[in-house]
Amino acid sequence: MVLLAHIAIVRIAHFASSVFATWAPCLYKRYKDCFTSLLAHDSGLIRNFAGSIWASVAFNFGPQTITYRHRDSHNIPYGWCAITALGDFNYVLGGHLVLWDFKLVIQFPPGSTILLPSAIIEHSNTQIALHETQYSITQFSAGGLFCWVDQGYQSQGRYTTAMSQEEHVAYVERREQHWADGLWFFSTVDEINRPY
C-alpha cells in the first residue's frame, strides 16, 4: 500500500488516466461508468489511485523488465492499458517497445507512457545492457469486470441460466456483435477536439 501512496507513482497513474480521457473520451467514459458502477455495488472495493480509471496495476521491478511477444488476452478487446517505462537505461540502444502487428520498433525512454489496446496488439520490449535497470508500471482493467457489471454483477453462467430461450438467442446474437460495439468507443478527431 505504501507504493500506491507514493507521490511519484500517484502522478504517473493520474497522468496516464488524464491522457486516456483526452485521447479516447468515449472509451474513457465506458471505463468510468463500469468502474463507478462496480465500486457503488461493492463497498469493499477501493481504487488503487483516486484519479485513475483503471481497476488494476502491475509493478514490474525487474531489475531488467523484459516482456516477450504477447497479447493481454484477459483485457477487454477494445480497451486500452497504460504502460510506463522506468529505470536507468540507454533507450537508443535498448528497451524499445515492439508493436509486432504494425512492424514498429519504438524508442521508449524511462518516464514514457503509452496507451494501447494490449488485448489485440501483439507487443514486447527489447533487452537492455546488463549494467542497466528497467522497470514498468502497467494499468489495465480485465474484460471480466466489464462482463460482471454488464451481467448484473453475476457470472455468465448464472446470468444465462436465468434466461428464457428467446432471451438466450438474443444474448448470443449480441455477443456475436460485441466486437463491432467496441468500435463505437474509439474516438474520432472531431470528438477529441470537442470542448467539454
Give the pLDDT confidence of 134-175 residue by residue, as tens digits.
Answer: 999 999 999 999 999 999 999 999 999 988 999 989 888 888
| DSSP annotation of 101 | G
Residue 22 confidence class, pLDDT cut points 50, 70, 90: very high
Domain ranges of the chain: 3-193
What gap in Å lies between CA 59 and CA 84, rounded to an integer?
10
pLDDT digits (tens, 9 = 90+) for 72-127: 999 988 999 999 999 999 999 999 999 999 999 999 999 999 999 999 999 999 99
Architecture (CATH level 2) of domain 3-193: Sandwich (2.60)
pLDDT digits (tens, 9 = 90+) for 51-77: 999 999 999 998 999 899 999 999 988
How far the first Cα of the chain sits from its last, in Å, is 34
Answer for the pair 93, 121: CB distance below 8 angstroms, yes or no.
no
Give the ranges where 24-96 is alpha helix by DSSP (H).
25-41
Count of beta carbons in the 10 Å neighbourhood of residue 193 = 8
